[in-house]
Amino acid sequence: MSHRLSAEPTTTTSCVSEALVERVDARVRWRGHDVHYVRCGSTHAAKQVLLLPGFGVGAFHYEAQLSGLGAEENTCVWAIDFVGQGESWPVDATVDVGFRYSVETWAEQVEFFLREVVQTECFLVGNSLGGYVSTLVAARSRSLVRGLMLLNATPFWAFVPNDLNSFGSRIAPWRGELPAPKWISGLISTYWQSFRSEANVRGLLSLVYSDPSVIDDELVRNIIKPTDNANALSTFCSVVWSPKSELSFDDMLERIRADASLPVALMYGKEDPWVVPLWGQRLKRAVPRADYYEISPCGHCPAHERPETLNELISSYMSYCHAGRSGEPPRGSTDGFATIVDGSPRNVFERIDALRAAA
């Protein structure tokens, strides 16, 4: 069965903003889903960038990049909602039996989108889960990727091993294939209601944002809204129980390290309590040529917490790459919130981690 049901948008709305930027809010059909995406700028622009969101958010989390970067000359910005999140949901409340909401599925979705919709090589910018998916796509579909920019990318995802012969796989009662068993959805439903509550969403966000004042009512509403979808509980169950990617994160990085022609930039909020600087340093050691920018003060979501700083970094880094990466890379941002760093450990925990890696 073909995974590509349609490469044409099912709905499209275009308008011209004050900056005379074309904005398209559209959907494209893929594996029984209406995949929602937003584009700002011309499809003929030389610089194409696709923004991939973290778990539980969507294109709305990149509104400042769509409007800001999309207004720049010769730049086209795309943002997509992963299936089962944001506004990307099954068309008729059902999907194929056996479908999983997994990192493998989301990577396939991005590869389809790049081939059939963007139709040219593209910079990938991914935050958190989006960073993991970006790394997987770059590692296995290099021809689609012009450059890789990671925003506090999570280096791990999922609990169930991919190897069917592993102990973890053998004891797993389910591997995320739809439909979700009723006993699992029933068991999780009570937790699910608490998980998606306004209080919980605000609490989780306040833990990962350096500046909690950025967490406004609109952000909370945008995160909770998709959880009202009829498929949301089954989707959450599938996410929890779906296996890891076939390639480990280390395997992905090894492929990327071996391809010196792929530009890589790390743009990390320093005050992130989840993906702490230690993880960024590990990635820098794995891919030494990567340019590592530290944004501070900033937590887990630089695109939303420090949008102007991040926009400048993305814009200057794309220009640097288009100039053939000649000379020095951008040194940071003019507002002083972002600086390039060498990834050296700065405290005892980071030093121990570096020594263990070198052993």
pLDDT in tens, 48-94: 999 999 999 999 999 999 999 999 999 999 999 999 999 999 998 77
* Whether pLDDT at 22 is above 70: yes
Q: Please, what's the largest Cα pairwise distance for the chain?
A: 59
With beta carbons less than 8 A apart as the criterion, state whether 129 and 75 touch. no
Are the C-beta atoms of residues 90 and 29 closer than 8 Å to each other? no
Query: By C-alpha distance, which of 37, 39, 48, 50 is closest to 14?
Result: 39
Taken as a whole, the chain contains a residue count of 359
Q: Are the C-beta atoms of 262 and 269 separated by less than 8 Å?
A: no
From the CA atom positions of the chain, what is the Rg in Å? 20
Beta-ladder partners of 15 = 23
The terminus-to-terminus CA distance of the chain in angstroms comes to 48
> What was the pLDDT predicted at 94?
72
Look at strands 47-52 and 122-127 and give their pairing: parallel
Cα–Cα distance measured from residue 300 to residue 244, given in angstroms and rounded to the nearest whole number? 22
Residue 19 has pLDDT above 70, yes or no: no
In one-letter notation, the amino acid at residue 300 is H
| C-alpha span between 95 and 5 (Å, rounded) | 12
Superfamily of domain covering 9-160+245-358: Alpha/Beta hydrolase fold, catalytic domain (3.40.50.1820)
Q: With contact defined as beta carbons under 8 Å apart, do 137 and 62 qualify?
A: no
The pTM is what?
A: 0.94
* Assigned token pair, 145: 């990727």
Contact call for residues 77 and 151 (beta carbons, < 8 A): no
Each domain of the chain, given as residue ranges in start order, spans: 9-160+245-358
HSE at residue 149, side-chain half, CA atoms within 13 A, is 26
Helix axes 198-208, 217-224, angle to 10 degrees: 120
| pLDDT value, residue 167 | 86
**Residue 147 predicted with pLDDT over 60:** yes
List of residues 6+ apart from 191 with CB closer than 8 A: none
pLDDT in the model for residue 9: 55
Buried b (16+ CB within 10 A) or exposed e, 246-264: ebebeebbebbbeeeebbb
- Two structure tokens written together for 236: 């959450």
The percent of residues in the chain predicted with pLDDT above 70, rounded, is 94
- For residue 168, pLDDT over 90 is answered with no
Question: How confident is the model over 270-309, as pLDDT tens digits?
Answer: 999 999 999 999 999 999 999 999 999 999 999 999 999 9
Q: Average pLDDT, stretch 42-49?
A: 96
Tokens representing residue 199 in the block: 């209080």
CB 301 within 8 A of CB 127: yes
Distance, CA of 35 to CA of 48 (rounded, Å): 19
**Please, is 322 exposed, middle or buried when counting C-beta atoms within 10 Å of its C-beta (0-12, 13-18, 19+)?**
middle
